Amino acid sequence: MVSKKLEKYKDYFKGKTYNITTFGCQMNEHDSERISYILEDLGYVYEEDRKKADFILFNTCLVRENAELKLYGQVSSLKKIKESHPEKIIAVSGCMMQTEVARQVIIDKHREVDIIFGTKNINSLSDLIFRYLETGERVVDISTDNVKDDFVKYNTPNHFQAYVNIMTGCDNFCSYCIVPESRGREESRRPSSIIEEVEYLVNQGYKEITLLGQNVNSYGNKADFNHTFPELLEKVAQIPNLKRLRFTTSHPKDLSDELIKVIKRNDNICKYFHLPLQSGSDKVLKDMNRKYTQEKYLERARKLKEEIPEIAISTDIIVGYPTETEEDFEQTLKVCKEVGYDTAFTFKYSPRPKTRAAKLTPIDDDIVQARFDKLLDLLYPIFNEKNQTYIGKTVEVLLESESKNNPEVLTGRTDDYKLVHVKADKSLIGEFVKVKITGNTSFTISGDLVE
């Protein structure tokens, strides 16, 4: 069907350009890569300037309120452009569109949007565009079915790093989280399909692969095949010429000893572990429905460090959950001191529609801000101290891009996910280099190329 329609509209797509703005997590970034492939397969060419593009798409996130507000503002900024250039197509996709409340805001208040689709309709994008071109009327297509994410083609920002979905959805139902609503229930891909995709990417020259899932540790739990995440990770790590293997995200309640052993014995599995805490208080963790205690969390963090001393650990922390008291918050600080995170993603609680926590009375903004500032005052010196230990060491770095502030400086990551700045020629982007570390901040390390 697509090929017949494409033949009909092939002249239309000649010279047409597109732009995608992505909000949110790596899952959304990977979805945008799939969308990019579909658009370019139709004939679109990427345009960096959003306002100049013929097809403008926003791939949305609903996890944080800030991303939602940004979306509304950026879509509104296109109203006048759409009025003066009605031939432009504006589309909104992603997690926000999977929820009725957010979707209705776009439908009712943003008539400039022509195409609306969800996370499970990406493969139908070509047909949605054809429907719009034929009718000139808004197209809304949202699927609630759990669609298995088999190996599909996509465009990556570079040709040495790629994301691979191993599962979709989530069954944890944390009280503050909208993911089960926006991404659906948990479903795992077959190991053979995942391995086929990674082998394909490695044969195309990709050097670093990141396996994606809302909770990779529960991979295979509901599947009709007998395969755990440690078993999958081990098999992927054995693929010839795969230089680096990462994964995200892990849920502490499902972190097994076997997974730690697999990371330890495979050199190409990066020694970096993202272990979301959210809160250090047992009471708040119970209210959040996190299904672990502070003691259990700390035991898992200690086990990681005992078995893999060189491992770097990062985390997520929510400040100001509605039931959090000052004593609860102090327990979060206690855990941060004990674990000694290499970095952390910190957030002030924001209520999400259709979550249990949204029904609770929020804490005063000033109190939340004071706690948030106190948390950062604790964390930043820890990050700085961790990074200082790299001074004088020579590390291997996969160079990823030019620095935003200085084109003569390239940035990249170490095995343990440290962000490195080094003066180097841009021809080295995508290559592994040795860097002797000479300086640091709380968030980066920097040094000189080792010839």
Report the alpha-carbon angle 230-264-223, nearest 5.
5
Domain end point (choices 373, 389, 405): 389
Residue 61 known to bind ligand = yes
Asked if residue 148 belongs to a domain, the reply is no
* pLDDT bucket at 66, cuts 50 / 70 / 90: confident
Residue 154 in any domain: the answer is: no
Residues 216 and 251 in one domain: yes
Same domain? For 129 and 165 the reply is no
Tell whether the model's pLDDT for residue 434 goes beyond 90. yes
Q: How much is the pLDDT for 354?
A: 82
* pLDDT range class, residue 69, cuts 50, 70, 90: confident
Same domain, 317 and 416: no
376 and 421 both lie in a single domain: no
Is residue 47 in a domain?
A: yes
270 annotated as ligand-binding: no
Question: Tens digits of per-residue pLDDT, 373-400?
Answer: 999 999 999 999 999 999 999 999 999 9
**Are the C-beta atoms of residues 243 and 236 closer than 8 Å to each other?**
no
Q: Look up residue 104 and give its amino acid.
A: Q
363 and 222 both lie in a single domain: yes
Are 29 and 71 in the same domain? Answer: yes
Average pLDDT for 437-448 = 97
CA dihedral 420, 424, 430, 434 (to 10 degrees): -60
As given in the structure block, the two tokens for residue 264 are 């330890």
Q: According to the annotation, is 177 in a ligand binding site?
A: yes
- Same domain, yes or no, for 376 and 400? no
Of 389, 409, 434, the last residue of a domain is 389
Output phi, psi for 38, to 5 deg: -60, -45
In this predicted structure, the answer to whether residue 311 has a pLDDT above a threshold of 70 is: yes
Residues in a beta bridge with 115: 91, 139
Least confident residue range of 154-158, 213-217, 231-235: 154-158
Total domains present in the chain: 3
Identify the H or E element spanning 245: strand 244-248
Question: Is 240's pLDDT higher than 80?
Answer: yes
Kindly report, residue by residue over 94-138, the tens digit of the pLDDT: 888 988 888 899 999 999 999 999 888 888 899 999 999 999 999
Domain range for 420 is 393-449
The domain spanning residue 32 has which CATH number?
A: 3.40.50.12160
The response to whether 336 counts as a known ligand-binding position is: no
Residues 206 and 335 in one domain: yes
CA distances from 172 to 5, 98, 251, 301 (A): 41, 18, 9, 21
Q: How far is CA 302 from CA 68, 286, 306, 336, 341, in A?
A: 37, 22, 6, 13, 12
Q: Give the pLDDT band (50/70/90) at residue 150.
A: low
Answer for the pair 61, 25: CB distance below 8 angstroms, yes or no. yes
What is the pLDDT of the chain when averaged over all its residues? 92
Give pLDDT tens digits for 261-271.
999 999 999 99
Give the tens place of pLDDT for each residue, 168-223.
889 999 999 988 877 788 989 999 999 999 999 999 999 999 999 999 999 998 88
The residue from 349, 368, 389 where one domain ends is: 389
What is the predicted pLDDT for the residue at 222? 84
- In this structure, the answer to whether residues 196 and 319 fall within a common structural domain is yes
Q: Both 214 and 184 in a single domain?
A: yes
Shared domain for 355 and 265, answered yes or no, is yes
